[in-house]
Structure 1
């Protein structure tokens, strides 16, 4: 299902719920987060599953890339099953220079096109939008933030997919290919929009033990485990729960913890003193602390409209901080360079066509 389809369903459901139900009580955020403050940032819907787990709030991964609800605490198993990864660890993402766009570059975009009266049509990338229900005919005209809009020359608005007119503004979707010059695309080709990218789950980086992963209890939500991981947040990443054989009470659960710094064998010995269950302990490029520092630095750039940064999230295996933005230019690269380009994976809406 596309993000737009989900948004529409949620808007309708939300409007009906608000009409029928009293306001819900405010959550106790201090209890949920342990009163720890982190940099605020948007997380894209398809990548929300990859947000770093905090205080043993674990993520369940199914073999098809889906997610399941966190497991409740269970009695510990007598002996943990620990398997070392044979991989060399997460590799640097590189400089992302193959994504650089300069004037004269042939580029491609796919997504929303907005055509307001008396102004050139614009392309607007996917971005966080608050879900607000509106009565039929009362929805506001679609707009795009100034820092994200790209002017379009030569687009045929009448050919847009899902073309609609809202408050006099026409909007639809398309894939457009053309030449980039100063925040404008001279369209050369127009086609139907491409499907939204699905969230791709990295494979469990540990081989199964002989005979496969056994079904056994896990105490990953034990407070002792959460305390240990919190105390080692500058060394380790996770936990993330994998379900390599699918969901169900008769299927095994495997907990992944990545070790970014220090002696991995020593970390495993110490962790096994508090954790019982299937364990995949493997190298990670980023620790929990590394990821939080990177996300905070990226968040500090989001208020600079000229950079066009829309979202930031950490890869679920601790491989990189992923940054979604409008277009990767030399100016954007220079702004991100002090953060450490080797630790960033750039995901632009405007992609060069080589």
Structure 2
């Protein structure tokens, strides 16, 4: 044995002895932890495919840069618009009176612009080394008549001024002539309820506190093999998240008979179960995401997309600068009835 091998052997033995001498990890207080933080509610083996699809969309929507985003932007005021109803209610045409809320950027020698909310790379710059704010042309709107002195949360970096505002004006070819300017609209996130709503009738006497084998490999594999039929299963806690409270697995079936699915699934699954009708299967969502992906490269102002979410739903959510005729024509082949649009610029009618 050469000297190097002897040293490696001694280090390995010392490490093993040190680990053996350490006390066992304490039992976690799950009740305390879960009281403050909700447990994982998505079946892990099935979540991977949908997370990948959503992440792919998020990484391809960033404007003005070759590197994908790895973190969301800092919180900024925004206007929540899309509700999944008739998309033509948010269609913007030349001459329409529109509103928008968010960041305004004014660079020296250039017209001020409104920049739609979007993901951006989170980098901690040293004080005084921050880059000047910029915005890609496909997600920006030229502004005429905006009062820079009335912006909220203003800053100036390398001569570029930026701030927040809610603006109302007339839309014309990606230019807005401002008629009203007020404080930005702040959207407050609604906290998740302590108790989940289970979309199935509650059994007589309530949901029982019984163990679930949803994390077993054979169950995960059985479900994963039916990604073309079901949506992403979710773990719901109708009496609050705690190891002393019941958990219900909710599965949406997009294709096929609900009763047949349940009977077959219960051959491998043990635990509380809620089977409901779903609009999209995991494969359906992936196909829609794949159809949206090329549009991100066409500079249409699409800033992000995501699936229906853990609770299910009948739409794929698309965030964008504006829903105009050009964007409408690009999204129509995918199926506007499948999309919930969330444009930053919306018409006032």
Q: TM-score range by the shorter chain?
A: 0.7 to 0.9
The superposition leaves residues 254-282 of structure 1 with CA deviations (integer Å, 9 ceiling, x where unpaired) of 21110011111101111111222221211
Q: Which moved more, 1:189-198 or 1:331-340?
A: 189-198
SS in 2 for 1:174: strand
Query: Structure 1 regions of 5+ residues with no counterpart?
Result: 1-31, 45-91
Scaled by the length of structure 2, what TM-score is found?
A: 0.74
Deviation of the 1:353 alpha carbon: 1.3
Greater relative CO, 1 or 2 (CA 8 Å, sep 6+):
1
Which of 313, 322, 326 is the aligned partner of 1:327?
A: 322
Aligned to 2:7: none
Whether 2:93 is the aligned partner of 1:137: answer no
Q: Structure 1 stretches (4+) deviating beyond 3 angstroms?
A: 36-39, 92-95, 199-204
Aligned to 1:120: 111
Which of 266, 271, 293 is the aligned partner of 1:272?
A: 266
Which of 143, 147, 164 is the aligned partner of 1:152?
A: 143
Which of 175, 188, 196 is the aligned partner of 1:184?
A: 175
SS in 2 for 1:346: strand
Distance change >3 Å, CA 43–CA 314, structure 1 → 2: farther
Equivalent pairs counted in the alignment come to 274
Q: Which moved more, 1:234-243 or 1:290-299?
A: 234-243
Aligned partners of 1:325, 1:199: CA distance in 2, in Å? 22
Aligned partners of 1:203, 1:297: CA distance in 2, in Å? 32
Deviation of the 1:216 alpha carbon: 2.1
Aligned partners of 1:227, 1:42: CA distance in 2, in Å? 27
Aligned to 1:241: 235
Deviation of the 1:237 alpha carbon: 0.4
SS in 2 for 1:113: strand
SS in 2 for 1:301: helix
Distance change >3 Å, CA 211–CA 190, structure 1 → 2: farther
Aligned to 2:283: 289
More helix, by proportion: 2
Asked if the contact 1:109/1:349 (under 8 Å) is kept, the reply is yes
SS in 2 for 1:237: coil
Aligned to 1:41: 57
Aligned to 1:348: 343
Asked if the contact 2:319/2:343 (under 8 Å) is kept, the reply is yes
Query: Structure 2 regions of 5+ residues with no counterpart?
Result: 1-46, 61-82
Deviation of the 1:212 alpha carbon: 2.5
